Amino acid sequence: MIFSNGEGLTNKQLLVKNTFWLSGVEFFSKILLFFITVGLVRYWGSEEFGAFNLSFAYVAMFMILSDFGLTTITTREVAKHRDLSEKYLSNLIGLKLVLSVIIVLLFAFSFLFINRPVSILLLIGTLVYSLVQIFQGVFIAIFQAWEKMEMVFLNRMLYYIGMLIAAFLVINFHGNAIHLVFGYAVATVLSIILGIWQTRLLKINFKIAFDFDFWKELIKESLPFLGMVVATVIYANNDTLLIGRSLGNDQVGFYQTAFKILFAFQSINVINYAIFPRLTVLFNEGKKESAKKLIEIILGLSIIGLVILASLITWQRELIVRLIYGQSFVVSAGVMSLLVWSGVINYFRVFVANLLIIKNKQKMIFWAVLIGTLVSLTTNYFLIPKNGFVQGGWTLIISELVILGAMIVGLKKAKN
């Protein structure tokens, strides 16, 4: 049986439409980020590029409080009840303003106890950019819930074009990492202004709201994500921080050049972003057979396509790195291929995580990520100083497999 949505589109047509727009933004954004990364690496070299990425790894530890599942819950609930869009949007902005103040205070307080990995000005610039960016995510969450992926495309493309212009100006006028993060912040502000206009088109009239009772319920619903976010941020950044501490900024630069290729590869997750709201609607409406059929098709095609793609990248890893970054960065080729395979595993664990979120089993995601984080921390702590930055790639593969396995076990229990 074919089910239609409120726009007169069938599930298949809506999924194709959403995938088209999200694929478009992923494709064009990754191209823009590709040129940005290549330009910066060739202009700055491994040392400055390493410091730039190390600042983000440091600030990420404080940004844990910026969104512990709040936007994910918003997407899920607004997808089911669009009439609550204004309430969620208004209160989410108000809540994030309060969280931003707390983050700034903790960030300033940290300087009394923690040795700064890079200059304080670069860290402040990175923090400002990161705080502004969390408000952009609020609008994206609403557009995804409405399945208006064309709005996501327009908003994010403005942001990425702004990033490209900022990077061009930095390179052309011999700027540094501090100039770049402030340029990124300006691009984010412009996308937020666009997001406000886009919500008006959806007839969502919002204002900054401080409904503490609603906040209490929203935080209670999102709280299981807090532990998961803490574990995820540590999981995602402990390798960079340990490499910087043990091996220096230049080694961070080599590792991060490989990681940027993984970042481009992870555009495959566009399928997960497109299918999440559709599966949420199908399960909410009790159309389990349609959801099951959709899941089987996506998984089957994904396994075949990703294994072939990752194998080709591994085969030509040195050529790929040489063409992108130059001969001096070929040392990153080995870890790059390892990171790509970790990206394949990550794709499937994100898929399973979305199914657990739909079933309101966020706690299972937390425990899975926590176990993977402990594996990652332990392995990296003892082996990165001895084996170098390549160890980060091996650790990521092992920990991604651990997380995926734990989530699959959790999903089976959820079914029972």
Written as six digits, the tokens of 242 are 């340990």
Query: How confident is the model at residue 14, as a pLDDT?
Result: 66
The one-character DSSP state at 203 is T
Helix, strand, or coil (residue 2): coil
The pTM for the full model equals 0.71
187 neighbors 33 (Cβ within 8 angstroms): no
The rounded mean pLDDT for the chain is 84
Confidence of residue 5 (pLDDT cuts 50, 70, 90): very low
CB 167 within 8 A of CB 187: no
- State the Cα angle at 110 between 253 and 53, rounded to 5°: 15
305 compared with 3, residue with greater pLDDT: 305
Looking at the predicted structure, is the pLDDT value of residue 411 above 90? no
pLDDT tens digits along 18-30? 667 767 777 787 7
pLDDT of residue 1: 32
Q: Which residue has the higher pLDDT, 268 or 392?
A: 392
* Amino acid 6: pLDDT: 47
Question: 342, exposed or middle or buried, with CB in 10 Å at 0-12, 13-18, 19+?
Answer: buried
The torsion defined by the Cα of 373, 370, 137 and 351, in degrees rounded to 10, comes to 90
Task: Give the start-to-end residue ranges of the domains of the chain.
Answer: 11-415
So what's the pLDDT on residue 101?
Answer: 93
Q: What is the mean pLDDT of residues 408-412?
A: 88
pLDDT band at 132 (very low <50, low <70, confident <90, very high): very high
Q: Look up tokens 């983000």; give the residue.
A: 56
Q: What is the DSSP letter of 23?
A: H
- In order of 89, 161, 362, the CA distances from 66 in angstroms are 15, 25, 18
pLDDT at 233: 81
Which of 382, 384, 350 shows the shortest CA–CA distance to 369? 350
pLDDT tens, position by position, 86-111: 898 899 999 999 999 999 999 988 87
Which amino acid is residue 341, in one-letter code? W
Mean pLDDT across 213-239? 81
pLDDT digits (tens, 9 = 90+) for 59-90: 888 888 887 778 888 888 888 888 888 898 89
CA gap 138, 71 in Å, rounded? 6
Taking phi over 0 as left and psi of -120 to 50 as alpha, with beta for the rest, 70 belongs to: alpha
Percentage, residues of the chain above pLDDT 90: 25
At residue 404 the predicted structure's pLDDT band, cuts being 50, 70 and 90, is very high
Q: How many CB atoms lie within 10 A of CB 147?
A: 25
> Average of pLDDT values for 320-325?
86
Tell how far CA 11 is from the center of its chain: 26
Amino acid letter, residue 109: F
pLDDT of residue 12: 60
How large is the angle between the packed helices 333-358 and 288-315, nearest 10 degrees? 170
Token pair for 202: 């959806």
- Contact between residue 88 and residue 142 where contact means Cβ atoms under 8 Å apart: yes
Query: What does residue 9 show for φ and ψ, rounded to 5 degrees?
Result: -105, 145
pLDDT given for residue 2 in this prediction: 35
- The residue among 280 and 200 whose pLDDT is bigger is 200
Q: What digits encode the pLDDT tens for the residues 339-391?
A: 999 989 999 998 898 888 888 787 788 889 889 999 999 999 888 888 888 88
> Scanning the structure block, which residue is given the tokens 């790059």?
336
CA–CA gap between residue 95 and residue 88 (Å, rounded):
10
State the DSSP H helix or E strand holding residue 162, giving kind and residue range, or none if neither. helix 149-172
Region 244-260: mean pLDDT is 81
Alpha-carbon span 167 to 161, nearest angstrom: 10
